Amino acid sequence: MINVDTKHILREVDYDAHLEEIQKAHELIEKRNGPGGDYLGWAHYPETYDKEELERIIKAAKHIRDNYEVLLVCGIGGSYLGARAAIEALNGLLGKDKIEIIYFGQTLSPTYVKQVLDYLENKKFAINVISKSGTTTETAVAFRLARDLLVRKLGKEEAAKAIYATTDKEKGALLQLSKKYGYERFVLPSDIGGRYSVFTAVGLLPMAVAGIDVRAFLNGMKIGLEKYGKVENNPAYLYGLLRHELYKAGYPVEMLVSYEPSLVQLGEWWKQLFGESEGKEHTGLLPDAATFTTDLHSLGQFIQEGSPVLFETVLDIIHPAVDVIVPHDEDDLDGLNYLEGKGLDYVNKKAHDGTLAAHEEVGKVPNILISLDKLDAEGLGELLYFFMRACAMSCYLNNVNPFNQPGVEVYKKNMFALLGKPGYEKK
Ligand code: PA5
């Protein structure tokens, strides 16, 4: 169960007083007749997803797990962040799984690309290339390089068997390539944009390869739809409303805070979801993310006493998967025996409480608290859906299209012109 606590936002926001605007925005989501309405395929996905494809994903994942040492996930933005966020959140940062997942195609850095290619030289690897368009430069270049390596190692025919493509069903360069070489294909539905695609094959295949129970994850989304697909008593819409109200109250920055390093990539996914959905028409909150207590030793000073530009949204996992007990030490030279026998979770939670009081009471930083019981595959599915609903709500309250990203094209056009890509000549 996800709970949104409004007690620390330093003002009153009454959900019921905003029911009319919330109802209006909710109808835009449900009827798909608002800006970007053609990209609301994710909203009722638990009811509409392709069950046969799910079975195929699970089967392919098992084959990859049983036959390869590494899965190279080749994608960027919405075609990669969700899978990475979910895998790290559920498997941790030092997973001991029999298969390794490496993320590729999300950078043009020759240093990183070369390092990965060198590493793969002596590994048995498969590729999951994920791109709706198939023309995204970072992903396409990386895929070409990885494919070349695979072909050099295995020959064309065998290499094709190790490549899995997730792309649009009807169009695009990757679809053509997959058809030509016979790669196994999975679909990114045309009515779902990249940053809302984690519940499709985009997220599910890498997650299943990482050993995650994707059925439970999808079930979390279904639970999410039941709880957050309505107006009454909806914590997701409440969170969307709070963000909107705090933005109007003069806070242009939202910082998502968690106390779990394995949620750093969740923060990256969340930044894309909210930033790309909301940051347009010279409006919207700047989404930032931090991990406490780590970042209290770097950003803590700014949050406490710097420009009063931000509010915090703190994600609290009530029951972490494990705990570690502080041991006794005979000498106690580090002065830690007062914590002897206590769990680190207890210490972390006290840090949380102390920080909340410091930021709220002394720093006057509004805090939205989002808590969930535990973070398993189902809980994570519910959480990601919660954020997607909240994001659509915030954007419609702010009168922007949550599902396009016109601004992203500007740099691409410049880059293509500078690189001499045909059709993008400098004017
Ligand atoms: O959310 C989005 O739309 C973007 O982040 C895209 O997912 C990203 O640019 C990758 O695009 P594509 O899947 O076409 O390679």
CATH architecture of structural domain 2-31+218-406 = 3-Layer(aba) Sandwich (3.40)
- The CB-side HSE value for 412 (13 A sphere, CA atoms) comes to 10
Which residue in this structure is represented by tokens 């979801």? 273
Residues with CB under 6 A from ligand 1: 76-79, 131-133, 136, 139, 193-195, 276, 405
Least Cα distance to 267 among 142, 2, 81 occurs for 81
User: Which residue among 42, 73, 80, 133 is best mutated to probe the pocket of ligand 1, counting the most ligand atoms within 8 A of its Cβ?
Assistant: 133
Q: At what angle do helices 81-91 and 377-397 cross, to 10 degrees?
A: 140
Least Cα distance to 88 among 204, 218, 262 occurs for 262
pLDDT of residue 339: 98
State phi, psi for 25 to the nearest 5 degrees. -65, -40
- Measured CA to CA, the distance from residue 251 to residue 273 in angstroms comes to 19
- Å from CA of 264 to ligand 1 middle: 20
pLDDT of residue 58: 98
Active-site residue 276, yes or no? yes
Atom in ligand 1 nearest the alpha carbon of residue 140: 15
Active-site residue 412, yes or no? yes
Structural tokens at position 315:
């994600």
pLDDT of residue 427: 64
- Å from CA of 194 to ligand 1 middle: 5
296 residue type, one letter: L
Please tell me which residue in 138, 245, 260, 276 is annotated as part of the active site: 276
Parse the chain into domains and list their residue ranges: 2-31+218-406, 45-212
User: Which residue among 73, 79, 188 is best mutated to probe the pocket of ligand 1, counting the most ligand atoms within 8 A of its Cβ?
Assistant: 79
Atom in ligand 1 nearest the alpha carbon of residue 80: 7
Q: List the pLDDT tens digit at each of the 427 positions of the chain.
A: 899 999 999 999 999 999 999 999 999 999 999 999 999 999 999 999 999 999 999 999 999 999 999 999 999 999 999 999 999 999 999 988 999 999 999 999 999 999 999 999 999 999 999 999 889 999 999 999 999 999 999 999 999 999 999 999 999 999 999 999 999 999 999 999 999 999 999 999 999 999 999 999 999 999 999 999 999 999 999 999 999 999 999 999 999 999 999 999 999 999 999 999 999 999 999 999 999 999 999 999 999 999 999 999 999 999 999 999 999 999 999 999 999 999 999 999 999 999 999 999 999 999 999 999 999 999 999 999 999 999 999 999 999 999 999 998 889 889 999 999 999 876 6
Please tell me which residue in 297, 330, 426, 427 is annotated as part of the active site: 297
User: Which residue among 136, 175, 186, 202 is best mutated to probe the pocket of ligand 1, counting the most ligand atoms within 8 A of its Cβ?
Assistant: 136
Cβ pair 40, 402 in contact under 8 A: no
Q: Do domains 2-31+218-406 and 45-212 have the same CATH topology?
A: yes
Quote the pTM value.
0.97
- Measured CA to CA, the distance from residue 351 to residue 346 in angstroms comes to 9
**Among positive and negative, which fits the CA dihedral 348, 349, 353, 359?**
positive
Topology of domain 45-212, CATH: Rossmann fold (3.40.50)
Least Cα distance to 166 among 206, 138, 195, 196 occurs for 206
Atom in ligand 1 nearest the alpha carbon of residue 188: 13
- Measured CA to CA, the distance from residue 377 to residue 211 in angstroms comes to 11
Structural tokens at position 179:
């058809």
Least Cα distance to 231 among 396, 417, 20 occurs for 20
Structural tokens at position 341:
């026998």
Atom in ligand 1 nearest the alpha carbon of residue 78: 7
